[in-house]
């Protein structure tokens, strides 16, 4: 079997650029893991109360797109592993000394990639991936980290000079494929995270969609926020995890399981998020008025 190996430039800028491919994917996960959706529980209008919770239809389209993306990435990963096998066969034909040199280059590349990730996450705004900044130690926000990055690049270049062009092609091809595998794995992890978050948020979005329909078409509409505050304090002293002494009534609005399920809830009301409890309480009131709260319901009248 013949192998068609790619040629790769070895200038520091291009070396760093290879490391940034995986670094950017890691950064995308970091940004995703630190994002959240806020609920403005003190607002009076329905739309303000819903806050940033999107429509269920929007989330469903996002989930469908992610589910289409995953097979493409899995196929790409499978092909990369096939390509890596071919590249490793070429590497096995190198001498022992050349193979040891290849392993040392790969070790230094992993180290330098780690430095690039730390530099991006720790010192640079994620919207400004300026390679000139990375290689300019005078303007970098973290000179010491930047020097470590350049030191790794320089060591890699010195080792690469000990290989001829054909040997260098083998090394760079393996390095490139490893980088692509890491990139695709990172993208798959991001897809998995985004789908899990979208599925979790979908429950909340569907609850607010139901509440909106009930408020629009139900007999009782939407009560002012101060009345809900009084009701919630009366029922549970504002404790969304409250459970009655009998265990039957649960959450900030003391739902029993039958009533909770009647407005689309599943599981334990006391374990649901505050936003979901708010949405389902609004739906219940819009449909049935204050009657589900026979004592504290006076605060809604």
In this structure, is the dihedral angle defined by the CA atoms of residues 261, 265, 268 and 273, taken in order, positive or negative? negative
The model scores a pTM over 0.75: no
- Main-chain phi, psi angles of 127, to 5 degrees: -90, 0
Please tell me the distance from the alpha carbon of residue 301 to that of residue 290, in angstroms, as a whole number: 7
Instruction: State the angle between helix axes of 96-123 and 56-92 in degrees (0 to 180), rounded to the nearest 10.
Output: 150
Give 31-73 as a DSSP string.
HHHT------TT-SSHHHHHTTPPPHHHHHHHHHHHHHHHHHH
Q: Minimal CA–CA distance to 268: which of 252, 290, 292, 291?
A: 252
Per-residue confidence (pLDDT) for residue 137, from 0 to 100: 44
Which pLDDT belongs to residue 113?
64
Which pLDDT does position 21 carry in this prediction?
A: 47
pLDDT per residue rounded down to tens, the chain (301 residues):
433 433 434 444 344 445 444 455 444 444 444 443 333 333 346 677 788 899 999 999 999 999 999 999 999 999 999 999 998 888 777 666 666 666 676 666 666 666 565 555 554 443 344 445 444 544 444 555 566 566 656 666 666 566 566 666 777 788 788 889 988 998 999 999 999 999 999 999 999 999 999 999 999 998 999 999 999 999 999 999 999 999 999 999 999 999 999 999 999 999 999 999 999 999 999 999 999 999 999 999 8
Take residue 269 and report the two structure tokens written for it.
């009301």
Give CA separation, 30 vs 33, 120, 258, in Å. Answer: 5, 11, 40
Answer yes or no: are the C-beta atoms of 125 and 119 closer than 8 Å: no
Of the candidates 57, 54, 62, which has an alpha carbon nearest to the alpha carbon of residue 204? 54
């Amino acid at each position: 079997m013949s192998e068609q190996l790619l040629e790769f430039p070895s200038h520091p800028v291009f070396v760093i650029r290879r490391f940034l491919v995986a670094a950017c994917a890691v950064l995308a996960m970091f940004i995703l893991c630190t994002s959240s959706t806020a609920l403005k529980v003190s607002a009076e209008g329905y739309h303000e109360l819903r806050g940033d919770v999107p429509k269920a239809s929007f989330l469903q389209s996002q989930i469908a797109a992610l589910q289409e993306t995953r097979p493409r990435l899995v196929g790409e990963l499978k092909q990369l592993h096939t390509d890596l096998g071919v590249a490793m066969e070429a590497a096995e034909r190198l001498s022992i000394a050349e193979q040891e040199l290849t392993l040392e280059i790969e070790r230094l590349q992993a180290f330098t990639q780690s430095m690039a990730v730390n530099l991006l996450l720790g010192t640079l705004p994620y919207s400004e991936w300026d390679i000139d900044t990375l290689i300019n130690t005078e303007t970098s926000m973290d000179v010491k980290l930047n020097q470590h990055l350049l030191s790794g690049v320089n060591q890699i270049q010195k080792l690469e000079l000990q290989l001829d062009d054909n040997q260098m092609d083998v090394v760079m091809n393996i390095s490139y494929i490893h980088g692509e595998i890491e990139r695709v794995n990172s993208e798959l992890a991001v897809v998995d995270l985004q789908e899990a978050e979208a599925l979790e948020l979908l429950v909340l979005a569907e609850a607010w969609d139901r509440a909106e329909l009930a408020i629009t078409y139900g007999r009782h509409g939407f009560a002012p926020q101060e009345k809900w505050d009084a009701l919630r304090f009366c029922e549970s002293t504002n404790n969304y995890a409250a459970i009655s002494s009998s265990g039957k009534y649960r959450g900030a609005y003391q739902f029993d399981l039958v009533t909770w399920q009647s407005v689309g809830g599943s599981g334990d009301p006391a374990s649901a998020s505050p936003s979901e409890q708010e949405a389902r309480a609004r739906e219940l009131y819009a449909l049935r008025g204050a009657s589900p709260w026979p004592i504290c319901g006076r605060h809604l009248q």
